[in-house]
Chain A
Amino acid sequence: GEDVEQSLFLSVREGDSSVINCTYTDSSSTYLYWYKQEPGAGLQLLTYIFSNMDMKQDQRLTVLLNKKDKHLSLRIADTQTGDSAIYFCAESFSGGYNKLIFGAGTRLAVHP
């Protein structure tokens, strides 16, 4: 079955790195995504990785994919207060209607 799991909360100090983890169960996913949701706003795509890649870097963001363990992580370098938000991991599958399966989201709190 399809299931995506994330820890619910993460608290980090400003300037430190944040690592948000996600595990998924369905190995047939084609793309894995990280979305960000700020208070009162919709979800915004942060970055994605194709399932045959193991790492992707985009400025302060680094995505690591361990397909064997079905583990995805998002590392945010030099975390800022503006990074405080809920981060959703999602996976999509080939064919059909671009189906996205979301985790419950990790609430990242950045403190001084």
Chain B
Amino acid sequence: EADIYQTPRYLVIGTGKKITLECSQTMGHDKMYWYQQDPGMELHLIHYSYGVNSTEKGDLSSESTVSRIRTEHFPLTLESARPSHTSQYLCASSEPGENTEAFFGQGTRLTVV
């Protein structure tokens, strides 16, 4: 069982609101990731982190921002939610190295109305 948690699981919010999606892992992993997944589509990497105070943009451009103040915590923030942000957001973590298993959280399904 993976020790990586995302909250909330589901969120419906109005346009223009600021939201933060939480992701926490208790495995001490240095690397953490955020993926965006639309129904029937690929997972797209939007942010990643090598460790504390490290954050990088992924392959898919996103208006969201992330922070990594603590190893175990990698929150994602949208300053002003829009309907185009409606999607599923998956957080993952892994140990350093080329072939290491990525552990995924259960995801947050975000709907912006």
Contact = CB atoms under 8 A, between A and B. Distances in A.
Interface in A9-49: 30-31, 35, 40-45, 48
Interface residues of B, number: 30
A33 to B, nearest CB: 8
Contacts of B41: 104
Contacts, number: 64
Contacts of B31: 97-98
B56 A97 contact: yes
Contact of B40 (A8, A42, A44, A45): A8
A42 B4 CA distance: 10
Contacts of A41: 106
Given A42-B90, A48-B99, A92-B99, A103 B45 contact: no
A95 B97 CA distance: 9
A68 B98 CA distance: 22
Contact of A102 (B43, B56, B100, B101): B43
A95 B98 CA distance: 7
Given A95-B98, A98-B100, A101-B42, 10 more contacts: A42-B103, A42-B104, A43-B43, A43-B102, A44-B2, A45-B101, A92-B99, A97-B31, A98-B96, A99-B48
